[in-house]
Amino acid sequence: MASKATSSRAAPGVPKPKREEPQGGLPRNYLRASLLLLIGEAPVHGYDLLEQIAGLGLHTVDAGGLYRALRVMEGDGLVASAWEHSASGPARRTYRLTVEGGEWLHVWAGALRETHRYLSSYLDRYDDIVRSPDAVLPNAELPDAELPDAMLPRAEVPK
Amino acid sequence: MASKATSSRAAPGVPKPKREEPQGGLPRNYLRASLLLLIGEAPVHGYDLLEQIAGLGLHTVDAGGLYRALRVMEGDGLVASAWEHSASGPARRTYRLTVEGGEWLHVWAGALRETHRYLSSYLDRYDDIVRSPDAVLPNAELPDAELPDAMLPRAEVPK
DNA sequence: GCCAGATAGGTGTAGGGTACACATACCCAA
DNA sequence: TTGGGTATGTGTACCCTACACCTATCTGGC
């Protein structure tokens, strides 16, 4: 297998696993959590969020989904918005955090902190397996050989 | 609000947010990833996994979902199973990793390592907000006051 | 014997978040 | 006036998750 399918699409040889989704192994509802954080840092509008949010791991955000999430969050009372008519370009809807949104940001941060700890545990155990001499694993971390690069959970796993 | 609803159920006062789901902010497909890790450590059967997997953050796993995931993973060729008739108790289906399953474990570990880094970044930025004197946040991390403990993303956020 | 309970594995299904395609409108420069 | 960047949205299918429910085996107590 392997051959040469570096094209972000799944290799034809792979039977079923279509886990090359953009969000790979990011937390559930991470979009919501990220939006709360960014809006909590400073009031922003959607298009700005669309560009900033890549820095939190959401590289290929669906713009529509982001705007939809914002409207839903406003409906839930987590954020509030106001139109801002700039001299250049279309009007922009600027969001700010509500009190309840702030509470939820705290809650989310707590949950993500716990997730962070569990991931540390997961990765430690994984490293133990890989380093283990009596590796149960069929083939341990081949430096740069057979591992099919087209079936990644996320599009790319840099660094 | 707040009052006294420490009962793992959502407080009645909360308008919409039903984010008190068991899996809170754990990664997407974390069940699959965890099963791969555990089976990679040593061959096990489903019921055993059901008990072990809590150690990875999945405290309230749905047993049916776990068994279903195992069957699907076997259908995908990630694991292989064999019946084991013990002297005491019902027969158990023991799973082991296939070569392809091992490759996917590596892939998942890479994705989760990246997620781990992004969560570090998220939490750093959150701490910056909380510590910030000119906090944009309506109310910063009340030590143990108003924060409603019944609307947690995960059931409990210990330690 | 019989029944409760632990062990062990499984199905049905509704809900919700995500991904992808597509639509709309404003403003500016060529 | 046409294209492209800015800015905001809708429609919808898919798939994971959560919850309820079911079957079967074996052991121990009454």
State pLDDT tens for residues B77-131. 999 999 999 888 899 999 999 999 999 999 999 999 999 999 999 999 999 999 9
Q: How confident is the model at residue A149 (pLDDT cuts 50, 70, 90)?
A: very low
pLDDT at B149 over 90: no
Determine the length of chain A.
159
pLDDT at position A145: 33
* CA-closest candidate to residue A123, choices B61, B27, B125: B27
- A141 vs B40, residue with greater confidence: B40
Contact B158, B149 (CB under 8 A): no
Tokens encoding A121: 């545990």
pLDDT at A6 over 60: no
- Please provide residue B44's backbone torsions phi and psi, each rounded to the nearest 5 degrees: -145, 165
Burial A85-112 (b: 16+ CB within 10 A, else e): eeeeeeebebbbbbebbbbbbbbbbbbb
| Tens digits of residue pLDDT in A101-128 | 999 999 999 999 999 999 999 999 999 9
Chain B 98-157, CB < 7 Å to strand D: none
Chain A nearest CA to B9, separation (Å): 15
Rounded to whole angstroms, the Cα distance separating A98 from A104 reads 10
Helix (H, G, I), strand (E, B) or coil at A79: strand
Q: How confident is the model at residue A2 (pLDDT cuts 50, 70, 90)?
A: very low
User: From the C1' of C27, which residue's alpha carbon is nearest?
Assistant: A89
Q: Residue ranges per domain, chain B?
A: 30-130
User: From the C1' of D8, which residue's alpha carbon is nearest?
Assistant: A67
pLDDT at position B142: 44
CA(B67)–C1'(C21) in Å? Answer: 35
In what helix (H) or strand (E) does residue B84 lie, and over which residues does it extend? Answer: strand B79-84
Tokens encoding B61: 């796993």
Contact A7, A150 (CB under 8 A): yes
Which residues, listed in sequence order, are joined to residue B82 by a DSSP beta bridge?
B94
* CATH number for the segment(s) A30-130: 1.10.10.10
